[in-house]
């Protein structure tokens, strides 16, 4: 953490954080020194990136190789009609640059794979996974566990969301909870998703990230938070590290990020 005092402009900008004993100036300086990689700048990645930028995270990586499509605009709040056809990471970085000059924004036009994951997550203090598919979630989990980097991960589907934190060896990894890949879900444009759901889940992802970076409060480590906005239910389920886990167990067999074979979802 930098020993530099906050400037007058920063003191004014982050005043609401500085008055919180759980953050204060020391916590804000931790945020300003932090390096966070966001995987996917879609429904979840947009609010995550927006709030982490506003909070003053020092360097924010935005990884996405997709382009903005009109069907994204219903829920991906960083984009508008003028961004159609643009790369999501670049369009998001441009929008976020106007939000907070303290934050260094690094758009990364790439897709996380088993082959490049170790290189892409290296050097970051925290990774936030807002990807839209199980294959990427497993690879992100592997790369972060092997590199010793905390991972805040979430997913959404229709009216539902789930979130957890992976911080091995302090708690379970994604493979402990889902040792066998579930059937891949249909994309949002086919299955449908409530416009505001990514905002709810993404805001909690950003909150958990800030708490980890400043070292305050309890986290979702060892818990899976389940959200259903159709009936307004929030519940958390305790999850435990699996000693037999192929990645973080007592005798691991996965020594590098590894792609998983996904099953197709059953026909309706």
Q: Which of 212, 159, 154, 201 is nearest to 35 (CA)?
A: 212
What is the Cα–Cα distance from 208 to 59, expressed in whole angstroms? 17
8 Å CB contact between 179 and 236: no
188 is catalytic: yes
Residue environment code for 222-249, b if the CB has 16+ CB neighbours within 10 A, otherwise e: bbbbebebeeeeeeeeebebbeebbbbb
What is the Cα–Cα distance from 143 to 127, expressed in whole angstroms? 10
In three-state form (DSSP H/G/I as H, E/B as E, the rest C), the secondary structure along 164-233 is: EEECCCCCCCHHHHCCCCCCECCCHHHHCECCCHHHHHHHHHHHHHHHHHHCCCCCCECEEEEEECCCCE
Which one from 188, 245, 248, 263 is the annotated catalytic residue?
A: 188
A 10 A CB-CB count for 51 gives: 18
List, by residue number, the catalytic residues. 188
């Amino acid at each position: 953490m930098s020993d530099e005092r906050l400037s007058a402009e920063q003191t004014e900008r982050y005043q609401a954080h500085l008055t919180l004993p759980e953050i204060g100036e020391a916590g804000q300086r931790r945020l300003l020194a932090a390096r966070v990689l966001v995987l996917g700048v879609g429904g979840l990645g947009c609010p995550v990136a927006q709030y982490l930028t506003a909070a003053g995270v020092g360097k924010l990586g935005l990884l996405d190789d997709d382009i903005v499509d009109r069907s994204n605009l219903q829920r991906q709040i960083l984009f508008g009609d003028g961004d159609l056809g643009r790369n999501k990471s670049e369009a998001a970085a441009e929008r976020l640059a106007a939000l907070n000059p303290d934050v260094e924004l690094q758009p990364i036009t790439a897709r996380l794979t088993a082959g490049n994951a170790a290189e892409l997550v290296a050097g970051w203090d925290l990774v936030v996974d807002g990807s839209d598919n199980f294959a990427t979630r497993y690879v992100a989990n592997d790369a972060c566990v092997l590199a010793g980097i905390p991972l805040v991960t979430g997913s959404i589907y229709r009216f539902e969301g789930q979130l957890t934190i992976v911080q091995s060896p302090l708690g379970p990894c994604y493979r402990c909870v889902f040792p066998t890949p579930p059937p891949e879900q249909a994309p949002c444009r086919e299955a449908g998703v409530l416009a505001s759901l990514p905002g709810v889940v993404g805001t909690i992802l950003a909150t958990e990230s800030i708490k980890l970076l400043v070292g305050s409060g309890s986290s979702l480590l060892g818990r899976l938070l389940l959200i259903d906005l159709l009936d307004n239910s929030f519940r958390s389920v305790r999850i435990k590290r699996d000693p037999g886990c192929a990645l973080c167990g007592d005798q691991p067999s996965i020594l590098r990020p590894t792609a998983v074979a996904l099953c197709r979802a059953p026909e309706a």
